[in-house]
Amino acid sequence: MKAVVSKLHCSSAEEEMVVRRRPHVVNGGGFVVTDRKEKIVFKIDGCGVLGTRGDLVLRDGDGNDLLLIHKKGGIVQALSIHNKWRGYSYDYQGSPKPVFTLRDPKNSCFSITNSIRISVQPGNCYFDVRGYFPDRDCSIIDSAGNVIAQVTGWIGSRDIYKVVIEANVDKAFVFGVIAVLDYIYGESTSC
């Protein structure tokens, strides 16, 4: 798989990451992603920290911004049967560059499918989310039907879960998608 955000976040082997949700009363919500050695790899902040509905930021373990994720708004969006989220990375000059668009069906009688689809720019590459994120039982599937990441629950806790990411998959992209899922389902990144 080609890196979506950066090759720096791809690993040559499968990795298991642990996600810990932060309560809204502590640091404004969001979540922290750690590796097996409990080193912080990513931090995700939502509107509890940013103060803006529909904006998410994914940072690396050192606090550097990797992705700005924004929910599209406006009159055209209000009339659409899907909500659109756009993920932007930063180029070497610090300018935002679009890297993916995620479409999720609105709760509407006009919505034919409940599928969540992610399109990657540039090109015709896409991914689907299958399963149900609130149950911590979902996968991100590439256009060839291969599972690139699997979310599974942690026994005895809703605030901790694990994500297994296949080799050569961009972890920043995966956790950008998970941040949007967290927001869509009203969890730690939402207001």
The 3-state DSSP class for residue 15 equals strand
The 3-state DSSP class for residue 27 equals coil
How many CB atoms are closer than 10 A to CB 101?
16
DSSP 145-182: S-EEEEEEEETTEEEEEEEEE-TT--HHHHHHHHHHHH
Structurally, at CATH architecture level, domain 13-185 sits in: Beta Barrel (2.40)
- pLDDT at site 184: 86
- pLDDT at site 151: 95
How confident is the model over 143-166, as a mean pLDDT? 91
Q: What is the residue-averaged pLDDT of the chain? A: 82
Q: Can you read off the two tokens belonging to residue 175?
A: 């956790």
Q: Check pLDDT > 60 for residue 123.
A: yes
pLDDT in tens, 43-93: 998 765 556 677 889 999 999 989 998 887 655 444 455 678 889 987 666
In angstroms, the CA 73 to CA 77 distance is 5
Higher-scoring residue by pLDDT: 71, 147: 147
pLDDT in tens, 7-52: 888 999 999 999 998 766 655 678 899 999 999 999 998 765 556 6
The 3-state DSSP class for residue 183 equals helix
- pLDDT at site 109: 44
Higher-scoring residue by pLDDT: 144, 46: 144
In angstroms, the CA 28 to CA 48 distance is 4
